[in-house]
Amino acid sequence: MSNVFRHVLSNGLVVLLKPVRTAPIISWWVLYRIGSRNEPTGITGASHWVEHMLFKGTDQFPAGYLDKAIDRVGGSWNAQTFFDYTAYYETLPAAEIDLALRLEADRMINARFDVEEVESERTVIISERQGAENSPMFWLGEEVQASVFRVHGYHHEIIGDMTDLRTMTRDDLFGHYRQHYMPNNAIAVAVGDFDPDEMLERIRAIYEPIPAGAAPALFVRPEPVQQGERRVTVERHGTTSFIQLAYRVPAATDPDWFKLELLNSVLAGTDGFGGGGIDNRTTRLYKSLVETQLAVDVDGGMTPTIDPFMYTITVVLRDGVEHQTVQNALDEAINRVIAEGVTERELERAKKQARALFAYGTERVTMQAFWLAFAENFNSYSWFEDYVQSLETVTLDDVKEVAARYLRAQNRTVGWFVPTTDAAQADAEQDEEDFE
Amino acid sequence: MSAPIESFPNSRNIVREVLPNGVVVLVYENFTAQSVVLTGSVTVGSSLELAAQCGLAAMTADALTRGSASYDFAAISEALESVGADLDVNGSTFTSSFSGKALGEDLPLLLDILSDVLRHPTFPENEVERLRGEILTGLNYRQQDTRYRAARAFYETLYPEGLPYHLSARGTLETVARLSVDDLRAFHARCYGPREMILVITGAVKADEAIQAVRRRFQDWSNPDQPPRVRPQNPTPTQMTRRVQIAIPGKTQSDIMLGAVGPSRLDADYHAAQLANSVLGQFGMMGRIGGKVREELGLAYYAYSQIEGGVTALPWNVSAGVDPENVDLAIEKIADEIRRITRDLVSADELADNKSFFIGRLPLQMEANEGIASMIRNIETFDLGLDYLLGYRDIIGALTREDLLKAAQHYLNPESLVVAVAGPPDA
């Protein structure tokens, strides 16, 4: 019983409207179908950097103006870049939503990209990457992902490779922007306290004058079939050991995706939709790794993506425990689920958890609008609206079948983070090799 | 048109009851969502532990959900996770707080478990040992975390030895390794009790049913030995800028925390200080500091200021993550902004903008149950009065430019700051 209204404007802009009258606020999202997966070598990180530049002003709304204008009315705004998209949002008191509609229309085509602003933002983004690099898991995650995807654009981190962040030019970024930011490459979503007819009329008035652009040619290279297990080791200064397993899994539109999500829920625990999560102490991997004092934490993650992606299991080892000991216990638990599947009780619990987490995740208009835009990008907003129903249809046989098909060693990359106290290693970590 | 202020939680829509044993229950009905959120605190924190047992209160709080009289560890996990519910207990300096979430129909289960773990924990030997390993691994890991190390060094320098915030409530590798099950049991028996316990429930539940459910589970709880709430002394302000540098090999970014002791939530100039802080390092993408350090100079991905504001004087501090080469420049620019906020009146526009920001953000803050519950808990914790939000517009509206300057001058002195930096060696 969805009350989402879907429209396509004459310039190709997809508009989703969902009235929700629980609080006098509206969330407005504009999502562009461009993300880090579409970045060729040399401009990795361009989508994320362009996202930053869209906060640097237009002629109509100069840099800094909007930060203050949004705060002044008590709103929030932000943006996010993902593998598959770049999205911007404002959540504002309902009476102020016109500001959001106007600013997103304006920066869809009028962002300035001043050279000085590009240079100032270069160091900010390098700083953002350096902040991430301070975490050992960033290095392991980056290495594992690059091993899983040798060809596909998912192989690099969303923030981009440091070398590209140092060399990309204003024209690279502006070209990326002009190529992908247009109404016919965007999805706009409003959720909140409004009348859908009035809202549509206002959106038409503001967005339909923006002409459609030439549909961008997307850089996409399919990943070849994996030929066997891959292993990577990262050695850096530190104290804590980590293991990450990454299994190749299908895209979000594949029916197997939901089966794998329930399998993950039983194995390592599910994450929910941003409205609060639950512990994973009843999961199989918690019992076999944390309760046995081999590890202090385990986490699993299925990510809904346009192209086939990866299912990751990440383990934080307890101090003093060897990687191989944990790896053996992990493999044993995974082999067991491949051989035996899951129990009816486990499956029912996973479904009940999904129902609760879905309810929590839809309590805020901001999250509802996000998920509608997110799902529309790779399929249809109904992927999100029907999420719980899609899980309900999954059977015990389904879960057993996907465990056997996808959790094979030949289909995975094994990553170990090995901490070292070697001073020479630490020095080397601070230097980058120079290639002329 | 913003949300009618009458729709916010107030004395007409919050049901408040004090049980004879001192438990304060506050319930706010909200049937726009399916969930119910529970949050609150007991007056047990690290301020009640000896320095040699640093981490005892936090470990005790963590261990509560590892087994209780009616639920062993597996039963707690099974009961909560099988219905998609969550319950956590965490120890801090002056209180141990709890929070939980479930579908409305599962509130009785959440209260059953909360009551049992707070009142009748069993501290099973094997579970405590497992927990100890998790805490020690976490503490070890944090030794490599530049942001954590900068914050720790900042607190250790700002608060002299003997004051509560000098040590981390999480404890140290040495003290946590020594804590025994008997220590945890004795600490719980001595310190946990119903007096001044706060329990807030918001969400899809009828208020009278929620109050009844709490009464049934908590009204017969007593602990005649429960110690009085600790009223801490505030530290003496520093007389000169002190800088601490922590070197962590293998890091690529330095984290900075600098500042001074700020207001407590109970101080008369708390709101004026908060508004001044917003101008300094919050409003419009991190205020003046963000404008200078991030937007103009491109030195940092994040640079902002905050006032923590608890029952005692917590810091008014600035945090930034910068390239190691830019540490000194970033500190200089941040100090310049502190100098400015303590020397000059903010502009009339800045005052108006920030007032509008503080009042206008309330609807978003209280869109979901978590925000509502948190606000009601603050109202009770700091004795603000159930109609605090109805008068909030007037409180903020009455503040003047002079009030902000006076508050900034009261707490911040650019010549006597504590500065802590954690990053790679030779930064």
Q: Band of the pLDDT at A429, cuts 50, 70, 90?
A: low
A94 touches chain B (CB under 8 A): yes
pLDDT surpassing 90 at residue A55:
yes
Predicted local confidence at residue A271, as pLDDT: 85
Residues B409 and B260 sit within 8 Å (Cβ to Cβ):
no
Predicted local confidence at residue B427, as pLDDT: 56
Share of chain A above pLDDT 90, in %: 90
Predicted local confidence at residue A247, as pLDDT: 98
Other CB atoms closer than 10 Å to residue A302's CB: what's the count? 23
Cβ neighbours of B298 in A, within 8 Å:
119-124
Q: Which residues pair with B300 in a beta bridge?
A: B322
DSSP state of B201: E
Summarised one tens digit per residue, pLDDT across range B198-225 is 999 999 999 999 999 999 999 999 999 9
Do the Cβ atoms of B137 and A357 come within 8 Å?
no
Predicted local confidence at residue A217, as pLDDT: 87
Cα A424 from Cα A420, distance rounded (Å): 10
B247 and B341 within one domain = yes
Predicted local confidence at residue B160, as pLDDT: 87
- In our burial notation (b when 16+ CB lie closer than 10 A, e otherwise), range B231-259 reads ebeebeebeebeebebebbbbbbbbbbbb
Q: How far is A134 from chain B (nearest CA, A)?
A: 5
Predicted local confidence at residue B4, as pLDDT: 57
Between A229-238, B154-163, B187-196, the lowest mean confidence (pLDDT) is in B154-163
DSSP string across B212-271? HHHHHHHTT---TTPPPPP-PPPPPPPSS-EEEEEE-TT-S-EEEEEEEE---TTSTTHH
Residue of A nearest to B252 (CA): A130
Predicted local confidence at residue A383, as pLDDT: 96
Do the Cβ atoms of A72 and B300 come within 8 Å?
no
Do the Cβ atoms of B33 and A239 come within 8 Å?
no
Q: Is B231 contained in some domain?
A: no
Q: How far is A116 from chain B (nearest CA, A)?
A: 10
Residues B28 and B38 sit within 8 Å (Cβ to Cβ):
no
B360 and B266 within one domain = yes
**Closest partner CB to B253 (pick from A127, A136, A291):** A127
Do the Cβ atoms of A278 and B86 come within 8 Å?
yes
**Closest partner CB to A72 (pick from B78, B253, B356):** B356
B177 touches chain A (CB under 8 A): no
CATH number at residue B282: 3.30.830.10
Predicted local confidence at residue A404, as pLDDT: 98
pLDDT surpassing 80 at residue B188:
yes
User: Strand B14-18's sheet: what is its strand order?
Assistant: B14-18, B24-29, B198-203, B35-42, B96-103, B86-91
A433 touches chain B (CB under 8 A): no
Predicted local confidence at residue A433, as pLDDT: 42
Predicted local confidence at residue B15, as pLDDT: 97
SS3 A182: coil
Predicted local confidence at residue A432, as pLDDT: 44
CA within 13 Å, CB half, B170: 16
B137 and B253 within one domain = no
Q: What is the dihedral of CA B156, B161, B166, B172, to 10 degrees?
A: 90
Average pLDDT over residues B380-402: 97
pLDDT surpassing 90 at residue B33:
no
Q: Band of the pLDDT at A436, cuts 50, 70, 90?
A: very low
Q: Is B148 contained in some domain?
A: yes
Give the residue from B103, B292, B295 with the most A CB atoms within 10 Å of its CB, the best one to mutate. B295
B183 and B290 within one domain = no
B268 and B202 within one domain = no
Between A248-257, B3-12, B138-147, the lowest mean confidence (pLDDT) is in B3-12
Predicted local confidence at residue A202, as pLDDT: 98
Predicted local confidence at residue B163, as pLDDT: 84
Residues B60 and B46 sit within 8 Å (Cβ to Cβ):
no
B152 and B15 within one domain = yes
Domains of chain A in sequence order: 5-207 (3.30.830.10), 230-424 (3.30.830.10)
The residue range of the domain holding B274 is 242-423
Predicted local confidence at residue B190, as pLDDT: 96
B265 and B171 within one domain = no
Q: Band of the pLDDT at B5, cuts 50, 70, 90?
A: low
Share of chain B above pLDDT 90, in %: 87
B246 and B209 within one domain = no
Cβ neighbours of B77 in A, within 8 Å:
279, 281-282
Residues B344 and B301 sit within 8 Å (Cβ to Cβ):
no
Q: Is B154 contained in some domain?
A: yes
Residues 61-100 of B with CB under 8 A from A: 73-74, 77-78, 80-86
Phi-psi region at A150: left, alpha or beta (left = phi > 0; alpha = psi -120 to 50): alpha
Q: How far is B296 from chain A (nearest CA, A)?
A: 7
Between A117-131, A385-399, B156-170, the lowest mean confidence (pLDDT) is in B156-170
Residue of A nearest to B135 (CA): A296
Q: How far is B229 from chain A (nearest CA, A)?
A: 31
Domain boundary among B218, B234, B266: B218
Residues 6-65 of B with CB under 8 A from A: 32-35
Residue of B nearest to A357 (CA): B84
Q: Is B237 contained in some domain?
A: no
Domain boundary among B202, B218, B234: B218
Cα B72 to chain center, whole Å? 29
Q: B388 Cβ partners below 8 Å, 6+ apart?
A: B379
Summarised one tens digit per residue, pLDDT across range A109-166 is 999 999 999 999 999 999 999 999 999 999 999 999 999 999 999 999 999 999 999 9
Do the Cβ atoms of A319 and B3 come within 8 Å?
no
A293 touches chain B (CB under 8 A): yes
Higher pLDDT, B418 or B32: B418
Predicted local confidence at residue A292, as pLDDT: 96
Do the Cβ atoms of A429 and B83 come within 8 Å?
no
Predicted local confidence at residue A431, as pLDDT: 43
Average pLDDT over residues A95-107: 97
A48 touches chain B (CB under 8 A): no
Closest residue by Cα to residue B287 from B297, B296, B279: B279
pLDDT surpassing 60 at residue B131:
yes
pTM of the predicted structure, to 2 decimals: 0.93
Please give the mean pLDDT across all residues of chain A: 94
User: Structure tokens of A144?
Assistant: 């594992």
What is the ipTM score, two decimals?
0.90
Q: How many domains does chain B have?
A: 2
Average pLDDT over residues B75-95: 95
Predicted local confidence at residue A423, as pLDDT: 59
CA-to-CA separations, A331 to A20, A325, A350, A408, in angstroms, rounded: 46, 10, 22, 10
Q: How far apart are the first and last CA of chain B?
A: 51
User: Structure tokens of B234?
Assistant: 């505030």
Q: Is B230 contained in some domain?
A: no
3-state secondary structure B6-70: HHCCCCCCEEEEECCCCCEEEEEECCCCCEEEEEEEECCCHHHCCHHHCCHHHHHHHHHCCEECC
Q: Is B324 contained in some domain?
A: yes
B409 touches chain A (CB under 8 A): no
pLDDT surpassing 50 at residue B348:
yes
B348 and B246 within one domain = yes
Between A374-378, B35-39, B359-363, the lowest mean confidence (pLDDT) is in B359-363
Predicted local confidence at residue A421, as pLDDT: 84
B111 and B154 within one domain = yes
Summarised one tens digit per residue, pLDDT across range A319-330 is 999 999 999 999
Predicted local confidence at residue B2, as pLDDT: 44
B317 and B364 within one domain = yes
B214 and B256 within one domain = no
Please give the mean pLDDT across all residues of chain B: 94
